[in-house]
Structures are given as structure tokens and as C-alpha cells.
């Protein structure tokens, strides 16, 4: 994935006509994508396991306390249907992959000097993001 990103950045640099290293120029655009993958992978874990914090708050040391009256709380281990969890994962993945290229394009506008050059420069990165999105959606569909 890193090589694909660096390759797309290099093609983008050549198409923009702007000299210098562009590898760090678009790194900020990867943050929404990384966040989307974190939500996609850990949403259901946080949703289910996070409920145990309610019980642990009343008895943090396991000594039989009931500080907040929640020691008998029983977590719902299936708060959402598998389909609903999948929809949240897909929405996070697509949202991150829409926001990432939008931020990259904004960055390209500041560097390329003209909107036309910025669009031409962004095509390789956009293609890469579409491929990442398709791959991520395919991975989600395999569960």
C-alpha cells in the first residue's frame, strides 16, 4: 500500500509540473481514511465491549463494590444487527475515502498554481483512492 501511494504521488508530482518531494504533501489526506478503517474495524468491538465499562465503573478493582449502582448491569452483546454494523462500516469507509481525496485536492490547489493543473495532478491519487475503496468494500463483503 505504501508503494502504491508513493507511486501515485510521484505520478501526481510529474503531472503537476511542480518540483520537489510530494510524499509528505498529501499525508494529511490519509488521516480520514485511517480513521475510516479504525471505525470500520473496531466499531462493533467498541459498541459491545464498551458496555462493560458501565459495570467496571462501579467495581473498578473487582472487590464486589457497587459505587454507582451499575454492578448488576448486563451488557447487550447484540445491540445492532449484523446488517446495521455492516452499513456503519461501509458508510465510514466511503466517507473516509471521499474526504481524503477532497483534502488532497485542496492541498493540490495550493501547490499546483491553477485548478486545471491541480485536477490533472490528482487523477493518479483519485484512481488509487477508488482502488482502495473497492478493496475495502470487497474486504467488508467477505465477512
Residue 26: which domain range?
A: 2-48+79-141
pLDDT exceeding 70 applies to what percent of the chain?
A: 99
Tell me if 28 is assigned to some domain: yes
Domain total for the chain? 1
**pLDDT digit string, tens, across residues 47-58:** 999 999 999 999
User: In Å, how far from its chain's centre is CA 107?
Assistant: 19
- CB neighbours of residue 109 within 10 Å: 16
Decide if 67 is inside a domain. no
74-122 pLDDT tens trace: 999 888 998 999 899 999 999 998 998 888 888 888 877 788 888 888 8
For 121, counting Cβ atoms within 10 Å of its Cβ (0-12 exposed, 13-18 middle, 19+ buried), the class is: buried
In a domain, 18, yes or no: yes
Question: What does pTM read for this prediction?
Answer: 0.73
Question: Average pLDDT of 118-139?
Answer: 85
Quick check: is 61 in a domain? no
Task: Evaluate whether residue 25 is within a structural domain.
Answer: yes
Q: What are phi and psi of 20, to 5 degrees?
A: 105, 175
pLDDT category at 143 given cuts 50, 70, 90 is: low
Answer yes or no: is 57 within a domain: no
Within-domain flag for 42 = yes
* pLDDT range class, residue 23, cuts 50, 70, 90: confident
User: Averaged over 41-50, what is the pLDDT?
Assistant: 91
State the CB neighbour count (10 A cutoff) for residue 43. 15
Amino acid at each position: 500500500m505504501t508503494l502504491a501511494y508513493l507511486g501515485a504521488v510521484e505520478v501526481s508530482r510529474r503531472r503537476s509540473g511542480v518540483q520537489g518531494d510530494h510524499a509528505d504533501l498529501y499525508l494529511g489526506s490519509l488521516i480520514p481514511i485511517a480513521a475510516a478503517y479504525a471505525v470500520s474495524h473496531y466499531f462493533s468491538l467498541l459498541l459491545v465491549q464498551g458496555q462493560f465499562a458501565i459495570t467496571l465503573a462501579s467495581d473498578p478493582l473487582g472487590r464486589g463494590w457497587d459505587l454507582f449502582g451499575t454492578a448488576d448491569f448486563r451488557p447487550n452483546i447484540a445491540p445492532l444487527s449484523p446488517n446495521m454494523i455492516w452499513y456503519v462500516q461501509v458508510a465510514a469507509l466511503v466517507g473516509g475515502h471521499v474526504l481524503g481525496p477532497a483534502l488532497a485536492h485542496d492541498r493540490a490547489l495550493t501547490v499546483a498554481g491553477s485548478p486545471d493543473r491541480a485536477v490533472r495532478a490528482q487523477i493518479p491519487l483519485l484512481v488509487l483512492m477508488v482502488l482502495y475503496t473497492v478493496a475495502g468494500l470487497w474486504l467488508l463483503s467477505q465477512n
